[in-house]
Amino acid sequence: MTHARIAINGYGNLGRGVEQALSLAPDLDLVGVFTRREGVMTASGPAFPAAELTDPQLRARWAGKIDVVINCGGSKSDLDTQTPLVASGFNVVDSFDTHARIPAHFEKVDAAARTAGTLALISAGWDPGLFSLQRLLAEAVLPVGQSETFWGPGLSQGHSDAVRRVPGVKNAVQYTVPKEDVRAAALAGETEGQLSAGDKHRRIVYVVLESGADAEAVRQAIVTMPDYFAEYETEVHVISEEEFAAEHTGMAHGGDVIRHGTTSPGTSHALHFNLALDSNPEFTGSVLVACARAVARMHARGERGAITLFDVPPALLHPASGAQLRAELL
């Protein structure tokens, strides 16, 4: 079994989830964890400075020693700069999840990766990621029909991260709550017309404020945030640090991709993919780790530039050989 050497860039919830997932991968070796902060101790030892991955002067130290970097920064304001920088020196995987900005992110990363001769898989995880694949497969086999995606109920890391970046916010979580009547109608194939994400979900935010912060200004900044909250019914609750620690540290999430399609008059089919996750970061980290394996293999085959999960041959995500997969899973 060929081993690939993996680095983790960014040590938040997702960075720790990737570290845990790597401990279960027989063919992937963790080389090191990198962070922008000083003095960070990880489960696998002291972290290295992130600049050693992003700064062309400093990264010579790691040349030829890392096969794939897994970028675990936030989508709100880290990954759009971090991923092109890392791609200019290393193969990279990220979980960029601001759907509206994915095409622009792809172009930027693609240019950096092509110039450097690296391979960069962006927007991996479960949505975007596994849910995107389900939407694609469902539409490919049932071209006449309607798809709906529901998220939650659960904690969205991307939206929680975005709220934590609002000035005056000390800590925050965001729960995505599907409107159950709409979800039930979608499961029964009884919705009419394409629904928007705002038609299907509510967002509930709990924030701990910095001392002296203006609660109303923080609320306004959250509910008007484009791409994250502006198009949803959003509740913002200000709570104490004690309540936050007692009530809001779990990170469960999940959701559904549903498609109803017809192949001839009176003949219909339903497809339903459901995820129920105890830990959003550990599951998302597990997807990123499988993607890192595929990226190492695809780069070795000569692939360059930016790709998404749509471009990955599924067998390359799995550690087993093609022969073993054909015998056991086909």
Q: Which residues here bind ligand NDP, judged by CB under 6 A?
A: 10-15, 35-37, 50, 72-75, 78, 95, 97, 125-129, 157-158, 161, 280-281, 284
Query: Smallest distance, Å, CB 10 to ligand NDP?
Result: 2
b (16+ CB within 10 A) / e for 59-71 = beebeeebbbbbb
User: Which residue, 145 or 232, is less far from ligand NDP as judged by CB?
Assistant: 232
b (16+ CB within 10 A) / e for 33-55 = bbbbeeeeebeeeebbebebbbe
Query: Smallest distance, Å, CB 45 to ligand NDP?
Result: 15
User: Which residue, 26 or 39, is less far from ligand NDP as judged by CB?
Assistant: 39
Query: Smallest distance, Å, CB 72 to ligand NDP?
Result: 5
- What is the residue-wise DSSP string for 226-266? TTTTTTSEEEEEE--HHHHHHHS----EEEEEEEEEEEETT
User: Which residue, 92 or 142, is less far from ligand NDP as judged by CB?
Assistant: 92
- Kindly state the tokens that stand for 169: 């916010």
Of 243, 249, 257, 279, nearest in space to 129 by CA: 257
Name residue, tokens 């960069």: 120
User: Which residue, 125 or 261, is less far from ligand NDP as judged by CB?
Assistant: 125
Query: Smallest distance, Å, CB 268 to ligand NDP?
Result: 30
Query: Smallest distance, Å, CB 150 to ligand NDP?
Result: 14
User: Which residue, 234 or 280, is less far from ligand NDP as judged by CB?
Assistant: 280
Beta-bridge partner residues of 32: 7
